[in-house]
Structure formats: structure tokens, C-alpha cells
Chain A
Amino acid sequence: MSNKRRITERTMHTLFFVVASASIVMLFMIMIFLFMEGIPIFDEVSVKDFIFGKYWYPTSEPPDFGILSLIVASLAVTLLSALISIPLGILTAIYIAEIASKKVSEIIKPMVELLAALPSVVIGFFGMVLVAPFLQNVFDIPTGLNLFNASLMLAFMSVPTICSLSEDAIHSVPNSLREASLALGATHLETILKVVLPASLSGISTAVILGMSRAIGETMVVLMVAGGAAFIPESIFDPVRPMPASIASEMAEAPFRSAHYHALFATGIVLFIFTFLFNIVADHIAYKYKQVGEATL
């Protein structure tokens, strides 16, 4: 009897281990594939020329495989969208966690999170059909499909992440700290700014970085609204071609295992390294400043 029980136990352990390993195995397989298909491009161009080359003419004769303009586009779009989404997300989180009544915050929080449920193609569609003509008319620019439009749409996509995670971080600040502050004669606002926010800074930073990494990897929106021109932008109203958009739009046309094909995979590697770094930084901050501050004895 006890033997049978032991076998069941052991089988279950193994089963769970296998299931839990599946995602890790998948991750490694994808990584290996990505690198295997991307590395061969460096037989044709050097790493330096690939990353710092200004010209992306993959189908010219001879072709140019320089992705600097794509990298700059990705970074510019991500930074500009962060400038919009960070204040929006954090201020909303503060409102939900600290200011709104319980009833109101119970309505708002799920609604903000619902924004994350919008398929990116719908957001892209919105940007293309509504925002683009609007920008074109208001600012009198040749095209509404540009860096600014893409950043705005991406900001919409990262706000739910930033807001929801920041709200969790603010919420987890122990009430005893708020009470300590109020009991010393601080106002509600002072308590939020000087005690609650500093105490939840690590969680908020993580939220911001995860929100930004969502923006940098997002494909559909930038494919639809960024404009698609592979040039280094000079103003926020210039059309751009971020890395994911370039990969998604060209992959179908690139002949299998051609230089163009490998170059797109190599672009994927660069993109992967960016998001990977974002996640590492987020993890690091979350770990380093984990302590939220209630005294433990």
C-alpha cells in the first residue's frame, strides 16, 4: 500500500516537473532558432555595420543591411510613448489607490485593465483611421502615420500595465506608514508624495519598465501607424519603421534563407536583447528595493 502511494507521489512530481519545464524548453528552442537563423547575416556584414549602418535597403543590388534607423525608431517610439504613459499610468494608479473612494476605484481599476484586453490591431485601426487624419489636419503635416501617432497608441497599450502594477505597489505600502505620517501632522498629499510613493518606488519602477518593454516589442500597432519609412527621424511627426514593424512586413517577401531573411532574424535578436535587458533591469530593481518598509522584528 505504502509502495503504491510512493509511486503515485513520484509520478506526480515528475509530471509537474515536465509540465513546468515545457515553457523553459520552448524559450530555449526559440532562442536557439532565432540565433541560428540570424547569425549567418554576419558573414555578409560586420556586426558594427549591421547595428550602426544607416541604410536599410535589403532588396537593392547590392543590398544595404544597416538597422540603425530601425533601432532609433524603436527607441524613439518607446521613449516618447513612455513620456506619455508614465505620468498617465502612475497618476491614475495614485488616484485609484489613494484618493478615489473604494466604490470608484473598484470601477476604474478593472476598466483600466480592460484597456489591456483591447487587441493591438484594434488600437492600430483606431490610430490609422481616427488619429492619423486628425493629426494631419491639426498639425498640417504630410502624413498622420508617424512617430507621434505610434507613440500615442503604444502609450495606450502600456498604461494598463503601468497603472495596474503601480497600483499594486502603492496598495502594498503598509497602512501603518500612512498613519505615522498623518499622525505627525502631514496632509494627505504630503503623505502620498513623501511617504507612499518613495516606499513603493521599486514596484513603480518595475511597472514602468515592464510597460516600456511591452511598447518596444509591440508589432501590430507600429506596423499600422508608424508610417514605415526606414529613416532616422528628425521630428516627432516623421514616419518611422521600428524593428518589429520591419520584421513583420518584410518576412513574407524575404526569400527563405536569403541574406534578407537572415538580416530580419538578426533584427529579431537585437529586439530580443532589448526586451531581455528591460526585463533584467525590472527584475533587478524589484529585487534590490524589495523592502517596503514596515518594521519587522
Chain B
Amino acid sequence: MDKSVKIEVKHLNFYYGNFKALEDITLDFYANEVLSLIGPSGCGKSTFLRCLNRMNDLISISRVEGNILLDGLDIYDPSVDVVMLRSRIGMVFQKPNPFPKTIFENVAYGLRVNGIKDKGLIENRVEESLKLAAIWNEVKDRMHESALGLSGGQQQRLCIARALAVEPEILLMDEPCSALDPIATQKIEELIHQLKKSFTIIIVTHNMQQAARVSDITAFFYMGKLIEVGKTNTIFTRPNLKQTEDYITGRFG
């Protein structure tokens, strides 16, 4: 099978001040695959995710060592335009965080800040993205109402649509379903199956079943280290390490 490496992480260390939050992470992400990051709270998986689109830059005391290569280019190179980088890597957050604007404006926002002015193009993209995020039918008649009037699950799919509108290559999802009920969660998981045809998806989750259901590859983090990574069905049935098995079977964490 021909797989192309999308992101290569090499010996990544990450510090918050003096605290080493990530230690020597080396991991490859392949295009059009879903990789899930699992591990107990505070193990560094969200921090790791936020290294990939340089969201951690916002924390002034943070420091990064090692390399993250996106299509072979180091994203921490001083010449990299962070704004451009982030428009290539979409992100969906743990809690739905729509802007206090209309549904249409929420999705159009990313297009506008990326310099698209053509009204027709924006309208098309908004519609496409909402369809892709499987929320079009629910919102098509209320595009100019506030996004805050949507339910939690709808808001989260709107946030996914908003991220997709910018046409990123990679989608980072930080526990996207943790604040949602099972039905909304199911919708998002179905969506992930659809989306992996065109995107590389990296998802952080606390829900083992979710990792098992949606991902091709699973990486287990513990105490800032990458303990084990492998095909999801292998990790969940015959993990190499006892630590991984203990976590997956619920014996700790």
C-alpha cells in the first residue's frame, strides 16, 4: 500500500517553563489516515496536538526542541509564516466555540481573513463546508441567525465546518466530542469517516471506544512520553507493552 507521510515529528521536546511536558516524541502521520492520541489526563496529548499548528506559541513561557516537518518543511523554522501554517492545519476544540456571529459569518470568517472577497465564492464554500460537516440541512433556513442558538452538537459540527471552509490539509481535533451527548458524538464520528477521504485527521480522545471506532492508527501517551503507537486494531487487541494494555483495559488512568 502506498502511503505518504504528511507530518514527521522528530525527537520533539516541549517545555512549559522548566516543566518538560513532552519528551522525545517521534511519530509519523500519514495522509488520509485518522490517528488518535490516547492517554490519561495531563499526559501531554493535547499539548502535542497544539504543537502541530503552533498554538502553543501563544504561551509565552513555552519552548520547543526537535523538528516537526509538514511535507518535509520544518514548521518551527523562523522563516515559516505561522498564519499561513494555521490555514493549512485546521483545528476543532474540546468545547464548541462558535463566534458570537451568525451561522453564515462563522463559516465565512476563515475565508475572509484569508483574503477571499468574492461573495459568490464565499457563499459556495460556506454551503459546501456545511454540507461536508453534515449540518447543512439543519441550518440552511437559519443562516443569518446567531450561531449561539444552536445545540451543543450542532455548534461543534459548525466549528468543524468553519475549520473545513479554509480547505486545510490536516484537521486537528482536541476531544471534539467530550462535551457532546452520544447522538451528537455518533454524528461527529460518522463525519470523521467521511472526512478522512480528503484530510489527514489527528484526534485526541479520552474515549477508548471512540479511538477504536474512528482511527486507523492509535498512539498511547503517558507522562509526556509516547509509549506505543501502532495500527488501532493491534493496539486494542494485542498491544506490545503491558502499560498500554493496562490503560486500554481500564486497569489504570
Contact = CB atoms under 8 A, between A and B. Distances in A.
> Are A and B physically bound partners?
yes
Interface of A: 101-102, 174, 176-187, 190, 194-195, 198-199, 291-295, 297
A184 B152 contact: no
B166 A185 contact: yes
Contacts of B55: 179, 182-183
Q: Which of A178, A179, A184, A294 has the most B CB atoms < 10 Å from its CB?
A: A184
Contacts of B152: 295, 297
A184 B97 contact: no
B90 A184 contact: yes
A176 B109 contact: no
B87 A181 contact: no
Contacts of A199: 99-100
Contact of A185 (B97, B110, B148): B110
Contacts, number: 91
Given A184-B113, A190-B113, A179 B99 contact: no
Given A182-B55, A184-B166, A293 B99 contact: yes
B121 interface: no
Contacts of A181: 99, 109, 113
A292 B83 CA distance: 25
Interface residues of B, number: 33
B215 interface: no
Nearest to B154: A295
B99 A195 contact: yes
27 contacts: A101-B60, A102-B60, A176-B97, A179-B55, A181-B113, A182-B86, A184-B86, A184-B87, A184-B90, A184-B162, A184-B166, A185-B87, A185-B114, A186-B110, A194-B109, A198-B99, A198-B101, A199-B100, A292-B100, A293-B148, A294-B95, A294-B97, A295-B95, A295-B97, A295-B148, A295-B155, A297-B179
What 3 pairs across the A-B complex have the smallest Cβ distances? A185-B87, A293-B100, A184-B110
Given A183-B89, A184-B113, A294-B97, 9 more contacts: A102-B60, A179-B58, A180-B93, A182-B58, A183-B55, A184-B162, A185-B83, A293-B99, A295-B155
Contacts of B100: 177, 198-199, 291-293
Q: Which of A101, A180, A183, A187 has the most B CB atoms < 10 Å from its CB?
A: A183
Contacts of B89: 183
A185 B114 CA distance: 7
A292 B113 CA distance: 21
A166 to B, nearest CB: 17
Contacts of A176: 93, 95, 97
Contacts of B96: 295, 297
A47 B101 CA distance: 46
A296 to B, nearest CB: 8
A184 B55 CA distance: 11
B240 to A, nearest CB: 34
B185 to A, nearest CB: 13
A181 B93 CA distance: 12
Contacts of B93: 176, 179-180, 183
Contacts of A101: 60
A291 B112 CA distance: 24
B99 A180 contact: yes
Contacts of A187: 83, 113
Nearest to B94: A176
Interface string B120-151: 00000000000000000000000000001000
